[in-house]
Amino acid sequence: MTNLKQKGKTMKTQPPSAAGSSKAAKIGQNAASDAENKHPIGKIQFVKRAQVFFRQNWVEVDKSDFHFNLKKIKEYLAKDTKIMPVIKANAYGHGGIALAKEAQKAGVACIGVSSLEEGISFREAGIKSPILVLSNVFPLENLQVAVAHSLTPTISNMAGIMALEDLAVRLSKKLNFHLEIDTGMGRIGALPEAAYQILQKIAQTPEITMTGMYTHFAVADTDPVFTQTQLDAFLKVVKFARAALGLKFTAHAANSAALFRNKRTHLDMVRPGISLYGLSPFKYAERFVKLKPVLSWKSRITFLKRVPSGFCVSYGRTFVTNRASVIATIPVGYADGYNRLLSNQGDVLVRGKRCPIAGRVTMDMTMIDVTGVKGVSLGDEVVLIGSQGKEQIKADELAKMQDTINYEITCAISPRVPRIVV
């Protein structure tokens, strides 16, 4: 019979040496307390946390693995090639401010963000490194917001150049920017044929300085031929700006996929994003360099019950037990970013064993079948993404079940799930 006793210990993360544990010993530290709750199942002790949260649902972000990945990427580059870590979208769901601080400690050349809001939040958190906003500023009046917070804007057309010039004149200050060239992504950026006139205007405007020029690859993960076509188109514009106009700037193009698949894309600087977090930008990327996943998503069993054969679990009665079973509940749901598509097909780890999702994932809770887990107890750690014992669940595994990419899996983890840096 499966033991359903409640553990006579505080519900805390064990030290790194303990079996099935993690590096998040700080998450749950014992609070010395004489208070005891006379609960019919057993004693309940209070827990004191370095970061206060009460719901047993959190993400661990391993800063040492982040630095490991950054180091491995740097080793893959030529000595003089600079790195701009892309820490947009809350660092792909990992925790933007915390990892921006780590990137700054590593001495990166620049940090890439997606919006003025992200850049401002980094500045308010004390980030001093140069920050490039990797999207167009609209309306153009918001260029003054970028300047006020020492953020480098991306300019994509003549209107942006003229607006930045006007602002520089009004402020009596020389303003920097990067020019984006659209060589095939079709998102933002000046088309190559339009770029020549823009560059001539830049060369004739001393009030502004183009400190960088970049493009973005559309299929670096799958199509090396089109990627080379994009690179050739970009390098033609770069050559014109340097040779014909005498402009000096940093040229950059490589995202994570291009970084590993085509060293000719490295240029003066690379822009790793997903690879920084130890996630693969394409299938078999580990053949180029082995990285470490930075993120683990964890929970704890907060409710356990034995149920008979023929028992229905969750909405829609889509899961019916075919034997006497033990069902555990964890406080994780689709409002946390654990997708409803994982209903009846995803797994989690409990005591180093894979346990299937039982029934539909609900908004705030998910049920799992732990019948085969010997000694399962209230408070047991549950791993949704990460390792436990000899087992591992990767973001790629969840992505495949949802017919999406690993980027979306981590980006979708809700802000209400605390990020704990370990």
Q: Which residues are catalytic?
A: 88, 315
User: Which CATH class for the 63-287 domain?
Assistant: alpha beta
Question: For the stretch 256-278, what's the b/e string if a residue is b when 16 or more beta carbons lie within 10 angstroms of its beta carbon?
Answer: bbbbbbbeebbbbbbbbbbbbbb
Would you state the structure tokens that stand for residue 174, as one six-digit string? 């020389």
Note whether 180 and 192 are within 8 A (CB): no
Give Cα separations from 310 to 144, 307, 318, 327, 367 (angstroms): 65, 9, 12, 13, 16
| Cα 347 from chain centre | 21
Note whether 331 and 56 are within 8 A (CB): yes
Question: For the stretch 136-159, what's the b/e string if a residue is b when 16 or more beta carbons lie within 10 angstroms of its beta carbon?
Answer: bbeebeebebbbebebbbbbbbee
Coil/strand/helix, residue 233: helix
What's residue 289's pLDDT?
86
CATH code of the region 56-61+295-421: 2.40.37.10
Domain boundaries, the chain: 56-61+295-421, 63-287
- d(CA 87, CA 108) in angstroms, rounded, equals 12
Count CB atoms within 10 A of the CB of residue 126: 10
- d(CA 257, CA 249) in angstroms, rounded, equals 23
What's residue 287's pLDDT?
83
Coil/strand/helix, residue 79: coil
- d(CA 345, CA 106) in angstroms, rounded, equals 40
Note whether 129 and 106 are within 8 A (CB): no
- DSSP string covering 91-150, please? HHTT-HHHHHHHHHHTT-S-EEESSHHHHHHHHHTT--S-EEEEEE-SSGGGHHHHHHTT
Question: What angle (nearest 5°) sits at the alpha carbon of residue 419, between those of residues 414 and 421?
Answer: 160
What's residue 50's pLDDT?
58
Task: Read off the DSSP letter of residue 241.
Answer: I
Count CA within 13 A, CB hemisphere, residue 416: 13
Which residues fall within 8 angstroms of residue 108, CB to CB, at 6 or more apart? 70, 82, 83, 84, 85, 129
Peptide bond into 139 cis (omega under 30): yes
- d(CA 291, CA 284) in angstroms, rounded, equals 12
- d(CA 255, CA 86) in angstroms, rounded, equals 9
Note whether 217 and 185 are within 8 A (CB): yes
- Segments of the chain with pLDDT less than 50: 1-49
Would you state the structure tokens that stand for residue 233, as one six-digit string? 């188109």
